Amino acid sequence: MSESISSIMLTSALFLLMFSLLASFLIVTNNVASEYEKVRFNDIANYIARNLIDLTTLSYESSYDSISLGIVLQIPTEVNNKGYSISIIKENNIYEVLVMSDTNSFIYGKAPLWAANGTQIQPSRTVTIPSLGTVYCKSKIYSGTEKIVVWATKQNGVIVVGIGTLNR
């Protein structure tokens, strides 16, 4: 009788050990995947911010009173088989590009743009970029959207920028 009890206890301990190892493995892989997604979202946010800053700088430096510039972005449709959203937010009086996971709001990437007292951000409007066509500006764009565009216009010294989708 005591042999059967000890074998049951040892088998139970073995199952408990296997379950503990499996749970530890799942926790570690989930943390690694989350960190990977954060890095990728930061890369995407920095890419978008860099293009917005470049367009803004070109507009400021231009000798023309009126100019419209745009760039079609080349960004992934998903990160780690998950979708995400892109928006421009204002936090602590600084505009930032925010790229956030659709499945977990704690996984995101941000990139700063500039202080909120200069260039204006336009969340909704239609703008025509001569080299691209009509851009529909949006406050939030979801991954998988085709032809995501960052743009800048200068009218009489006032520069307005934003993100949107191209309708060609």
Whether 1 maps to a domain, the answer reads no
Whether 160 maps to a domain, the answer reads yes
Whether 112 maps to a domain, the answer reads yes
Q: How far apart are CA 140 and CA 142, in angstroms?
A: 7
Whether 81 maps to a domain, the answer reads yes
For residues 126 and 137, is the Cβ–Cβ distance under 8 A?
Answer: yes
- Residue 48: its pLDDT value, please? 95
Whether 90 maps to a domain, the answer reads yes
Q: How many distinct structural domains can be found in the chain?
A: 1
pLDDT averaged per 10 residues, the chain (length 168): 82 92 91 91 95 91 88 91 92 91 91 77 79 88 91 87 85
* Domain membership of residue 101 as a residue range: 39-167
Q: How far apart are CA 168 and CA 70, in angstroms?
A: 14
From the number of C-beta atoms within 10 Å of its C-beta (0-12, 13-18, 19+), residue 102 rates as middle
User: Please, what is the end-to-end C-alpha distance for the chain in angstroms?
Assistant: 81
Element (H, E) at 57: helix 2-61
- Residue 168: its pLDDT value, please? 58
